[in-house]
Structure formats: C-alpha cells, structure tokens
Amino acid sequence: MQLNKIRMPLFILATILFGIKTYVVYRFMFDLSIENSMQEFILFVNPLASAYLIFAISVWLNPKRQMKYLRWTSLIGSLILFVNLIFYRNFTDFITIPVLFQGNNAADLTGSFLTLLHIEDLFIFLDVAIIWYLSKQKFDMSIQLPTQGKIAATAVTFLLLAGNVVLAEIERPMLFVRTFDREYLVKNIGIYNYHLYDASMQTKTKAQRVLADGSEISEIESYLDKNSPDGQAKDSDLYGVAKDKNVIFVSVESFQNFLLDSEINGTETTPFLNDLKESKDTIWFKNFYHQTAQGKTSDSEFIVENSLYPLGRGAVYFTNAQNEYNALPEILSEEGYETSVFHANNKSFWNRDVMYENVGYDEFYGEQSYEVTPENSFGWGLEDKAFFEQSIKYLQSQKQPFYSKFITLTHHFPFEMPEDKANIDQYDSGSKTLNHYFQTARYTDESLEQFFQQLKDAGLYEDSIIVLMGDHYGISEYHNKAMGQFLGKEINGYEHIQLQKVPFMVHIPGYENGGVREEVVGQIDVKPTLLHLLGIGNKDDLTFGDNMFAEDRKDFIAMRDGSFVSEQYVFTDGVCYDRSTGEQILEEEAEACNPIKEKADQELQYSDNIIYGDLFRFYDFKQ
C-alpha cells in the first residue's frame, strides 16, 4: 500500500457523508411526520441506499473521472435536496415534474425566495465541500477494481434498493400502486428515487396523452346523449330549489349506511343522522353507492367533481391532475360562487394541492389553517369536532353564495379513539376494526350535530343547503366474518354490494318536502344533481351520471370493478342477482344482466379513455 493512497475509497466516504446528511435534512429540516420506529429506520436507511446508488457508478470510471463524477453528483444531488427544501418551506410539498412547469408555482417561489432561505441550509453543502476538497488532493482516494469487483459493487446497489422497496411495502402496503402521498413516498424511498418514480409516471401519462386523438370524444358524446337521458332535464320541481344558496358539502369519512339505525348494547350509534334522514327538510337517497377504487377519498372527490369514473389503478388525483376538466368548482365559480375545501390533513395528501388548483377551488384550508394540539387530536390528526369548530370563522369569511367542501378525518381506519372521548361501547367480534368502527362513527355523528348547531349560531344555516355524503366503505371484505355476525347473515357477493351503500342526504332548511328516495343512485350522479338543485344549466356537459330527480334516468350504477346495481339486478364477480330478493339468478337466465354489464363496461372504458387521453381538451363545454 502506497503512502499516498488513502484506504477508504472516496465513493464510500461520499455515500456515508451524503447519506447521513440527507437523513439529517429529512429529519430536522423538512417537517416529515415519523409515527414509529420502523419509519425512523427506513428514513435512515433510504438516504444511504440512494447515495450508494449514485456514487457506486463511479467504480466503472478511471481515477480522474471518478473524482470528477463524485464532485459533480454530490453537488447536483445536494442542489436537488436544497431546491426541494425551499419548495417545501413554501408549499409543504415536494416538487413534481408538472409543478416545475406550472408558472404560478415558480413565480410564487421567486417572489419569496430570500425569505425561504435559512442560514442552516449551508449544512446541505458541507459534504460537497469535503468531497470536493478530498477529490482535488494529491493523495488518491479512487478505487480500481477488477471487473468482478465492479459488478459486485454494482450488485450491492440492487440489494440495497430491493431492501428499501421491501421495507417501504411492509410499512405502507401498495405504496407504489396507490401513491397516496408524496410525503409517504419521500419518507420511504427518499427524494431521489421519488423523483425517478415521478418521472416515470409523468412519461407514461404524457405518452398516453400524445397518442390520443380528438375523434373519440364525439363518439362518447353521442353515447352519453343516448344513454344518460337526463342531459339537462329541468322537469322536476326541485330544479333551482337551492338557487343562490350556499352549498356546504360534507364528505363523511368511511361512513357506510349500515351504521344508520344500528345499535350497540341498546345505544343508537348515530342518533343525529338517524333523525336527520327522517327530517322534513332532508331528502335521503337510501340506495346511494360509492364508486371509488384505489384513490379512496380522492376518487370520491373526483367522481363528485366530474361525474367521471375513477381509474382502476392508481388515483386520478395523482396520475392525471393536469388534465382539462369541466369540474363542479369551475362551473360554480363561473356562476359567482366562492369555492373552497376544508380538510385538516397535509395539503399534498392525494395530491390535493395540485388537483384542487386545476379544478378551480378558490381556497384550500389544510392542516396548517388549524390549531392542532395533543388535546384536540387523535388517529389521523385534528379531531372532527375541533375541525368543524375552527372552520366556522373561515366559512364566515367566504363571499356568498359559496360552495364549501368539508372532508372529515376522525372516522378513518383503524378507527381507534381514546375511551374517554367515546360515547358508545365497542362491538364485540373477532375484528378489532369493526369493534372500534362504531365508536368513531358515533363521534362523527356528534361532530356533525355540533356542526349544524355552529352553522345556525353563525347565521349560515338558513341560507345554505347541507349535503352529506359517505366517501367509501370503512370495513373491507377482510372483515366479512365479523360483519356477517353483526348483520346476522352471511356476506356473499350480493350482500357485499349492499354494504357499498353510503349516506347521501340533501338537507334544505325550510324545505319541508323531504323524504326517503328509493332510486338506485351513486356518486357519479352528484354533480348533475347538485347543478339541478342550484338551477344551473349544463346542457353541454359530458357526465356519466344523471340528475337523481329526473324521471327518465340511466338506471344503473357501475362500480369500478365491473360490478353494477340496476333497479332490477345486482351483478358482481360474474354472478347476477335479483336485486329485490338477493336470489342468485339461475344460470340459464343469467344473461338478464348482460345488456347492462355491456353498458357498464363501455362506460368505464370511455371514462378511462377520457382521462388517459385527456380528451376534454378536444371538447368545447361552452358551445
């Protein structure tokens, strides 16, 4: 060993320095929430894996180039981290490729750039300075390996990467398919791999868009003309019944219809909602189905805003947040409404910050608009009672009429809550999830009751309509056994579909003509229905849903997995059931379901094509 040769190769030292630096930045300079020691461990490991991935490539270069490569990659890597940190300080989010090209984001940043700089940011470049210095010294820190050694050094990259991905999947199952949140991705795979992932998603979306052409939209238009007969029928006495009123739309987390009128040990689970649905001022659609898929809450939002189906894979809110839409908030804005969303979670969850801007919401009150303390939070964060209470002041500041969407959070899997805040017993079954579910549902019921009172106290109630909608199921098929025990019947395909019913109530103060409606309807129908109630014409809209109040309506609800419910039938898993009896239809008559099945599949396909091809850019909604 020569004296001028230092033992530790620079690429290893660079990996350690850069890896630890990145961990420290994640941990102390970003504001990432670390919920358990596994997350902490992954947060520590992934920067080392990423650093190794980048620096190990250098073993294939000659000594001089090795040094140059390490200098520049450490600098570029640090710049990427730095720019993300600056962006994060402004938006509490990470950069995505589409966002980079969005003028307003960049402009926002240049305006406030200096105020976003902190002196400790110099730390991000400390390892760069060290690497830069060492790489320029006379002693040689390069490494020269035989080909096998080079291959071995590279192979370690894949081992580390695979290990990281496996840990991430254990910590957050389906992380890569569902992409809930950029923060989760960054926490689990690191900012560099996250950018690679983002780039591959972006390439895929762009390719699909480029390959699409405008001719298909007229085919879809004529299909919809024929098959969603309502179009813009005004022939219901509810047309315009809520004209010029505020709309307070509450998306009620994980709330399924079976909770209504249920009891645990003789106590009603949802006394407030039980009364509300029977109120003279409420129209309750008891056969209303959610139609969401992997995008969960965001899918329900997407369906309601656009009357399009969600995608079968991934969340549209992530995959196609840049598309042209003709969304409800945009339409309402044009009609003079102020539009806003209230949701006390981080703004980037489900890419909401990006999507909301695209579909035209004026304001988004996220977690940072609320005072969250250990006393007023549990589960996913700020508890709903505090959420509603703290929202009132913002709601009062809206220009009327307004359209405001509230998304609750407390009644979310795993439905656990402090016993001293629970006002109903747990259920007793083999499923902890179902046992807890009633307690958080009761909590939601109480928070809604308080919210109604707060709206009255704030003087907002009389001039508003309040729409309550369940976003999706809370109890998955995994709990069928316990669910069967609760309902006193076995959960087969037919019952499973029944369980996809979620509340949909339109509460119109002073209306007095409310009642229970039996029609088979779903989230896809919400947009045309709301516009109908508000007396807003949308005859050139392209929607897969129909106005729920129209006489002549499309008579089935398609689920994303190809199941459907029509007035007569329920179809799921290849089995056709009689909707009124729940009896399986005998094989020789099972084709009864086929015509609707074909239509359902056709609609899902058309909707996918609209989204993947961004086909609305070829359509003029204001003909």
Q: Of these, 338, 471, 603, 614, which contacts Mn ion (CB under 5 A)? A: 471
Give least dist CB 205 to ligand GP9, A: 21
Residue with Cβ nearer ligand GP9 (345 or 390): 345
Dihedral, 372, 373, 378, 383 alpha carbons, nearest 10: -50
Among ligand GP9, Mn ion, none, the one that 345 touches (CB under a kind-dependent 5 to 8 A) is: ligand GP9
Tell me the residue number closest to Mn ion, measured at CB. 297
Part of the chain binding ligand GP9 (CB under 6 A), chosen from 58-66, 85-93, 405-413, 452-460: 405-413
For the segment 489-518, give every residue that binds ligand GP9 (CB under 6 A).
none
Nearer to ligand GP9, 412 or 560 (CB): 412
242: which 2 tokens?
């809520």
The answer to whether 549 and 319 have CB atoms below 8 angstroms apart is no
- Give the nearer residue to ligand GP9 in terms of CB position, either 472 or 579: 472
- Between CA 489 and CA 146 the distance in angstroms is 68
The minimum distance between CB 504 and ligand GP9, in angstroms, equals 17
The b-or-e profile of 401-439 (16+ CB within 10 A means b, else e) is bbbbbbbbbbbbbebbbeeeebebebbebebebbbbbbb
Q: Does 292 appear as a known binding residue? A: no
* Residue-wise DSSP of 464-496: EEEEEEE-S-SS-GGGHHHHHHHHTS---HHHH
* From candidates 297, 358, 391, 538, binder to ligand GP9 by CB under 6 A: 297
Question: Which of 71, 347 has the CB closer to Mn ion?
Answer: 347
Q: What does 349 interact with, of ligand GP9, Mn ion, none (CB < 5 to 8 A by kind)?
A: ligand GP9
**Number of CB atoms found within 10 A of residue 175's CB:** 20
- Indicate which single residue of 297, 322, 439, 500 sits in contact with Mn ion (rule: CB under 5 A): 297
Window 317-376: residues binding ligand GP9 (CB under 6 A): 345, 349
Encoded tokens for 412? 């979310």
Instruction: Determine if the peptide bond prior to 401 is cis (ω within 30°).
Output: yes
Cβ-based nearer residue to ligand GP9, 163 or 414: 414
| 22 noted as active-site residue | no
Q: Is the peptide bond before 271 cis (omega within 30 degrees of 0)?
A: no
Q: Name the one residue in this structure whose structure tokens are 């530790």.
A: 8
Query: Which two structure tokens, joined as six digits, stand for 492?
Result: 């087969």
Contact 350, 371 (CB under 8 A): no
Q: Is 278 annotated as a binding-site member? A: no
468: nearest Cα among 521, 504, 443? 504
Task: Give the residue from 104, 611, 525 showing the smallest Cα distance to 328.
Answer: 525
Tokens of 140: 């040689």
Q: From the list 260, 386, 407, 448, which residue makes contact with ligand GP9 (rule: CB under 6 A)?
A: 407
State residue 402 phi and psi, 5-degree precision. -125, 155
- Candidates 31-39, 424-432, 464-472, 475-483: pick the segment binding Mn ion (CB under 5 A): 464-472
* Catalytic residue (one of 22, 282, 292, 297): 297
User: Which of Mn ion, ligand GP9, none interacts with 541 (beta carbon under 5 to 8 A by kind)?
Assistant: none
Residue 494 contact among Mn ion, ligand GP9, none, beta carbon within 5 to 8 Å by kind: none
Residue number, 343 or 507, with CB nearest to Mn ion: 343
Taking CB under 6 A as the rule, does residue 178 contact ligand GP9?
A: no
CA atoms within 13 A on the CB side of 44: 6
Which 211-270 residues touch Mn ion, going by CB under 5 A?
A: 253
Exposure string for 337-357, b = 16+ CB within 10 A, e = fewer: bbbbbbbbbbbbbbbbbbbbb
Minimum CB distance to Mn ion smaller for 296 or for 347: 296
The rounded distance, in Å, linking the Cα atoms of 300 and 304 is 6
Taking the complex as a whole, the smallest distance from the CB of residue 341 to Mn ion amounts, in Å, to 14
472 annotated as a binding-site residue? yes
How many residues in the shown chain lie near ligand GP9 by CB under 6 A? 7
- Residues in the site for ligand GP9, rule: CB under 6 A? 296-297, 345, 349, 407, 409, 412
Interface residues toward Mn ion, by CB under 5 A = 253, 296-297, 471
Active site residues: 297
Provide the annotated binding site for substrate: 412
